[in-house]
Structure 1
Amino acid sequence: MKNLQGKVAVVTGAAEGIGKGIATRAAAEGMKLVLADINAAKLEVTVAEFKANGVEVIGVPTDVAKEQQVNALAEQAFARFGKVHLLVNNAGVAVAKPAWETTQQDWDWVMGVNFYGVTHALRAFVPTMLQHGEEGHIVNTASMAGLTSQPSLASYNASKHAVVTVSEGLHHDLALRQARIKVSVLCPGWVKTAIAHSERNRAEAVDSAATQGVDAVAAKVGMSVLHAVQNGIPVAQVADEVFDAIAAERFYILTHPEMKQAIQIRMEDVLQQRAPTLLRI
């Protein structure tokens, strides 16, 4: 999909970070925007910024973990613009804990946003996108954690691996039906976002097991992640990679070429049936 002028983009997690960067690039391409985020106040500010620059945009406060809210997002998008051409499932959160300390609430929250946020959107948007029959593109945000496995990030790793494999299957499903909708899975490394502080948007109360003393190794991993994110690449660079992939119809979007070696090592671990290598990404 090369000509984006006047077409419609839906972006979740769009009030800041990678989502806002992608929305900014979409606006620069002349697209109309439907922006979703769980933080209604921040979303309102972001929408106002776009409107001040003459962008045709609406904002829909959305918790992507809730199917009804994603369905409502789709209804508003199609009611306002009639069609959707670019769907970017980007909202994401993270928890840094060893697997045995990751509570059911942690799993529900991380999988709800990172994984079910994608699957809810596919059900809500794809049938109508197929029905209108125009060119389209779906970008699902995974992570390098969807292609490798890092310590103390069990729920995050699992959610992002799930996004990768669902995206791969989605590609096949659409291709076998000769659909005009293409798919990309975004697997960034470290990017300057607020992902390390995603607990701020956690609505439900955290159970007592989650408030106990933090495991020392997990705490060290969490600090390493925070440092790496603070020194990551800018979101605008990620957005450029995304739109290059859309134009080229490229499936895997790897924003950090230097991390490809980590993927190769993991694949070799699998094929040689050896224990996982601890990868520094």
Structure 2
Amino acid sequence: MSHPAIRKDAVAVITGAAAGIGFAIAKRVAKEGMNVVLFDKDLQALESAVEQIRAESPDVSVLPIQGDVSSEPDLRTLYGRSFELGQVSLLVNNAAIIQGAGPWHETSRWRALMEINFWSVLNLQQMFVETMISQEGSAAIVNLGSKEGITTRPGNAAYSVSKAAIKVLTEQLAHELREKVGDRVTAHLLIPGYTFTPMNFPGMTAATAKPDAPWTADQVADRLIEGMSAADFYIFCEDNEASWELDQRRMQWAADDLIQKRPPLSRWHQDYERQFQAYIADIAK
């Protein structure tokens, strides 16, 4: 049984919906009978996405809206037009970029990433949450997190910071919603693994062969529906390289840096390399 927010004739609003995980989620909820609002900057990709969804789910309504999540006026347009198709019961904050900055790179690079990866999510929550609370029926908000917002691997500090911020924001949102309306409006953190998407494979086309390691975006969308149906908050995705057990060990190791007073990011510290490999030896086959 699906989460009650995923229901026939209700509306799902999805950012970054023209490709990758956002598009996969749009297709998946349309198959459940939901009308979908697709928000994306890429007009050509939007038109293609609409055509495919209408072909696969001809009985649902699809509303494409071109816009930039870093533009508050565009987000207000999205909010205002979303209700043209009916009651909005699902908001999926998927849009994000990965091109970031290191710990002492210029502020402009940090701001550009945070505007998309964090501030747009907060802005849309501010717009939609009160409406979802006031309307009848169940609703849900799904924010896209990342394993890099949990174990915060080195190499792209701005991206890791943005996804760590999304994790905390969504945890706080889930708590406040539970205190206010119980389980009628819920929040969920979708945590993809390595996924075959344009973010991870720039320039990919429909003809690009998928490597063995990543999951498909459709697998991530299926996991989202499964996790929401089970009332999970943390909806975790493996991939074909990292099992759930391996990811659990990586998260536990990261948390134990603080508890055991190890250096930060000790998993990538040469003095702890052997200790970490021993810690995962029984599952890292």
Q: TM-score by structure 2 length?
A: 0.82
Q: What amino acid maps onto 2:199 in structure 1? A: I
Distance 1:114 1:229 in 2: 27
Q: 64, 68, 74: which is aligned to 1:69?
A: 74
Q: 174, 179, 191: which is aligned to 1:176?
A: 179
Q: Is the 8 A contact 1:96 1:152 kept in 2?
A: no
Aligned residues: 252
Distance 2:267 2:50 in 1: 42
SS at match of 2:115: helix
Instruction: Specify every segment of 5 or more residues in structure 1 that has no aligned partner in the other structure, as ranges.
Output: 200-227
Distance 1:38 1:74 in 2: 16
Q: Is the 8 A contact 2:82 2:88 kept in 1?
A: yes
SS at match of 2:181: coil
SS at match of 2:195: coil
Give, in angstroms, the shift of residue 83 of structure 1.
Answer: 1.4
Instruction: Specify every segment of 5 or more residues in structure 2 that has no aligned partner in the other structure, as ranges.
Output: 204-209, 239-243, 269-275, 277-283
Give, in angstroms, the shift of residue 197 of structure 1.
Answer: 6.3
Q: 60, 64, 79: which is aligned to 1:59?
A: 64
Larger helix proportion, structure 1 or 2?
Answer: 1
Q: Is the 8 A contact 2:46 2:64 kept in 1?
A: yes
SS at match of 2:118: helix
Identity value in percent: 33
Q: Is the 8 A contact 1:99 1:152 kept in 2?
A: no
Q: TM-score by structure 1 length?
A: 0.83
Distance 1:131 1:177 in 2: 11
Q: Which residue of 2 aligns with 1:273?
A: 261
1:32 aligns to 2:35 (yes or no): yes
Distance 1:195 1:106 in 2: 18
Q: 1:51 to 1:67 in 2, by over 3 A?
A: same
Distance 2:39 2:139 in 1: 19
Q: Larger RCO: Structure 1 or Structure 2 (Cα < 8 Å, ≥ 6 residues apart)?
A: 1
Q: What amino acid maps onto 1:39 in structure 2? A: D
1:131 aligns to 2:134 (yes or no): yes
1:115 aligns to 2:118 (yes or no): yes
Q: Is the 8 A contact 1:5 1:29 kept in 2?
A: yes
Q: Tell me the alpha carbon deviations over residues 52-93 of structure 1, each in whole angstroms, 9 at most, x when there is no partner.
A: 331310011121112221111010001x12311011000010
Give, in angstroms, the shift of residue 97 of structure 1.
Answer: 4.6
Q: Tell me the alpha carbon deviations over residues 177-220 of structure 1, each in whole angstroms, 9 at most, x when there is no partner.
A: 12511111011221111114679xxxxxxxxxxxxxxxxxxxxx
1:233 aligns to 2:215 (yes or no): yes
Q: Which residue of 2 aligns with 1:164?
A: 167
Q: Is the 8 A contact 1:196 1:229 kept in 2?
A: no
Q: Which residue of 2 aligns with 1:90?
A: 94
Alignment of 1:181-220 (within 5 A): 181-196=185-200
Q: Which residue of 1 aligns with 2:231?
A: 249
Runs of 4+ in 1 over 3 A off after TM superposition: 196-199, 228-231
Distance 2:128 2:122 in 1: 10
Supply the RMSD in Å over aligned alpha carbons.
2.3
Distance 2:212 2:159 in 1: 19
Q: What amino acid maps onto 1:264 in structure 2? A: Q
Distance 1:39 1:254 in 2: 28
